[in-house]
Structure 1
Amino acid sequence: MPRPTSDGQAPTGGVQAPLNDAGTPLNGAEPPVNGVQAWEVRATEADLDDLRTRLAAARLPEAETVRGAAPGPGRWAQGVPLADLVDVVHHWRTGYDWRSFEERLDRIGQFRTTIDGLGIHFLHRRSARADATPLILTHGWPDSIVRFLDVVEELADPADADAPAFHVVVPSLPGFGYSDKPATTGWGTERIAAAWVELMGRLGYPTFLAHGGDWGGNITTVLGGRFPAHVLGIHTTFAEGPPGLTMDGLTAAERRWADETRDFWRHRAAYAKQQATRPQTIGYGLVDSPVGLLAWILDKFAEWSDTEDSPFETISMDRILDDVTLYWLTRTGASAARIYYESHNSLDPGLRVDVPSAITMYPRDVEKCPRPWAQERYRHIARWACPESGGHFPSLEVPEHFVRDLREGLAAVLAARR
């Protein structure tokens, strides 16, 4: 594929598998089928050198005025502490290995296809098990396909022969990673959900299970509500009841959830309002400054994870840098932010999900929905779980528990269909 033009339609660093005159891949990859093309990722050395040069020349502000605070939320009260950022920037410049990330994506299996005029990149790990069920996993912001990197293999080919297996599909949202950047408005969650149905059909999966968190949870809800003929059931860490519900009848814990969620949207969601109203403006800094991009994303990993101080208590620095570097090399800081412009507060108030649903509310997530509210939208909750640990990124924070919970939730969903 060529380097991206100003419209961003060709992702940086990707190449299609080369074919001979007979159409057979020279590198052993499968030929295109139903418009699906094998895909490989290779950033240029020039781009990686440029990144390191920019990191070395970064202009940083003075330290926060709460410097010296004890470890905990107070130390992050003004955002990413300077000392922490300096440490991550140093590792990013001198120790981080992007090539190992590229190789890992290749081992899982990468592909692209064009749906509704837009190129969509995705991972596809087909299980060796004959009894495997198709499963699509959808990420959100500020993460990417990196959200599921550590769980794909275990979901596809579990070490325990008695555990369920899945044919795993992990698409990059439009404007994220190696998917194309939309050149016009209209790529909101409803359109993305429809594209996912088309994608799964092209892969030979007319019916499938779906999981998601953050925007991926919103899209998974739309999948279950709009496409019950294709979606066997859903599992999500995001649930949103219809508007206008009261706290009457809620337990004390559920009232606390509602209060915490309201506080989050009133006092800690400036990033969402910025991206929903002026994504282009913030996008210039995110695409031009790797340190600015890192701080914008690291702040959310810190605040939204189940940790006492640093996100690196549960998520490796390299894994977060995989995510940030993917944004940087693909220049998707602005295009990814636009999902807020397209879809913020857009979930149809009248949408109802009648397919079996499994919902997990992790304790340190930023938005938790009381079950009575969730039941107004998700009409057939086959399993409701509230783990003891985990935050907004459970597949990265507590991957073993996440896999177990996802398996149990999807098993309950499938059992509910019998």
Structure 2
Amino acid sequence: MSVFDIKPFSLTVAEDVLVDLRHRLRATRWPDEVSAAAWQYGPPVSYMQDIVRYWLDRYDWRQQEARINGFHQYITEIDELAVHFIHERGVGPDPMPLVLTHGWPGSFVEMLRIIPILTDPVAHGGRAEDAFTVIVPSIPGHGFSGRPTRPGMNYSVVADMWATLMERLGYRRFGTQGGDWGAWVSAALALQYPDRICGLHLNYLSTRFRPGISSSDRPVSDEEQGYLDRVGKWAEAEGAYIAIQSTKPLTLAYGLTDSPAGLAAWLLEKFRSWSDCVSVPQEAIALDELLTDVMVYWVTGTAHSAARFYSESRERPFHLAAGEKILPPCGVVTLPRELPMPPRSWAERAFNIVHWTSLPRGGHFAAFEQPELLADDIRTFFRPLRKRSVA
């Protein structure tokens, strides 16, 4: 493949991969369990047994594969790595190019429901002038993008790759949006390419992000310190996955790469903890969609390369220098079941906040859980910025 080739991509998983998956699911070795509150120590064995039965007897990968292939997908090579992406053109008089970036334990599958809402607003109760042309790349090491074979693939490098991708597609200026790792990549795009980003929309600000605070800045307020205290308590109670994926991802990957039930448990536990549900994650996200996300990790064998993104970014934490700011206009939307989110004053230390709203429901996976609500907020934020975008 030439470095400038953009080739159509169609997903077809070999049948022997699916046969092997079914064999492994049937041969699952189940752990023991003690009496405790549901999910106290992780997904209950009975829950995971139900998941495996559904996966074997009712889930239809070929149906999901066809759904994915209903989108325009492509592969290109950037910095010697294949980059898989969806590119859906907007239906409207002047669609704005918008790159959406997924996170973990999600994938490009997170965005499948929101893409048509953004590209064809009239078909979803909106206005034609709010149309976006949507680009959804898979972070290297995730999904059908290439897997890095040497260290250094972090959120900042991915931002450079997305800038190259958008240039290659003919979009000099564009908007960017994301949550989880997608928020890191989107913020890095705005920091590193402020002249190219017409607007930055985030549905998450990482608990590990730190603005640069100098002696001349206002001191940390009680509200901001309260947020930092909550982050510390959350990390102590829920941050074990960060510790292992940031330090010894390969150790973890042996189990996740060998056992589909183990992989599903590792991912579904986070969907349960971070989504707007009461007892099980499929209250917030359809089970077929959750399993399709798990399947993307399984059929690509990317449990390790995706987990390793944590260790790569640990080497370069997103901490701004004193006085450093991310200049493009920024909109932030908060959701009631999100991980700890900072007060607006904390974000304003680093971002040019022009839009700050709250949604009535939803959690960490906004595009998965509440695509209509998130799309409406994205439209509202970008509406006054559209004249600044030139494709």
Partner of 1:235: 201
The correspondence of residues 399-414 of structure 1 with structure 2, limited to 5 A, is: 399-414=371-386
Normalising by structure 2, report the TM-score: 0.91
Partner of 2:260: 290
- Cα contact 2:96–2:386 (8 A) shared by 1: no
Partner of 2:182: 216
- Cα contact 1:176–1:335 (8 A) shared by 2: yes
Shift of 1:90: 0.6
Q: Distance in 1 between matches of 2:6 and 2:294?
A: 27
- Cα contact 1:247–1:255 (8 A) shared by 2: no
Q: After alignment, is 242-251 or 150-159 more displaced? A: 242-251
State whether structure 2 residue 292 is matched by structure 1 residue 305. no
Unaligned 5+ segments in structure 2 are none
Q: Select 1:390's aligned residue among 338, 349, 362.
A: 362
The superposition leaves residues 324-349 of structure 1 with CA deviations (integer Å, 9 ceiling, x where unpaired) of 01100000000110100100361132
Q: After alignment, is 42-51 or 344-353 more displaced? A: 344-353
Q: Select 1:352's aligned residue among 318, 325, 331.
A: 325
The superposition leaves residues 30-63 of structure 1 with CA deviations (integer Å, 9 ceiling, x where unpaired) of xx99411101110111110110111011000123
Unaligned 5+ segments in structure 1 are 1-15, 17-31, 70-74
Shift of 1:247: 7.9
Q: Distance in 1 between matches of 2:194 and 2:178?
A: 16
The correspondence of residues 22-33 of structure 1 with structure 2, limited to 5 A, is: none
Q: Distance in 2 between matches of 1:59 and 1:402?
A: 40
Q: Distance in 2 between matches of 1:179 and 1:83?
A: 34
Shift of 1:230: 1.2
Q: Select 2:61's aligned residue among 77, 80, 98.
A: 98
Partner of 1:12: none
- Cα contact 2:108–2:136 (8 A) shared by 1: yes
The superposition leaves residues 300-336 of structure 1 with CA deviations (integer Å, 9 ceiling, x where unpaired) of 0000011111111111110000000110000000011
Q: Distance in 2 between matches of 1:247 and 1:323?
A: 43
Q: After alignment, is 281-290 or 339-348 more displaced? A: 339-348
User: Could you say if the C-alpha distance between residues 44 and 317 of structure 1 is closer, same or farther in structure 2, counting changes exceeding 3 Å?
Assistant: same
- How many correspondences in the alignment? 377
Shift of 1:263: 1.4
Letter aligned with residue 151 of structure 1: I
Shift of 1:404: 1.1
User: Could you say if the C-alpha distance between residues 290 and 121 of structure 1 is closer, same or farther in structure 2, counting changes exceeding 3 Å?
Assistant: same
What SS does the aligned partner of 2:328 have? coil
Higher relative contact order (CA 8 A, sep 6+): 2
What SS does the aligned partner of 1:347 have? coil
State, as a whole percentage, how many aligned pairs show the same letter: 37
Q: Distance in 2 between matches of 1:204 and 1:249?
A: 44
- Cα contact 2:119–2:134 (8 A) shared by 1: yes
State whether structure 2 residue 16 is matched by structure 1 residue 46. yes
What SS does the aligned partner of 1:342 have? helix
Q: Distance in 2 between matches of 1:182 and 1:341?
A: 13
Q: Distance in 1 between matches of 2:91 and 2:332?
A: 28
Q: After alignment, is 397-406 or 170-179 more displaced? A: 397-406
Q: After alignment, is 83-92 or 122-131 more displaced? A: 122-131
Partner of 1:152: 115
Shift of 1:260: 2.8
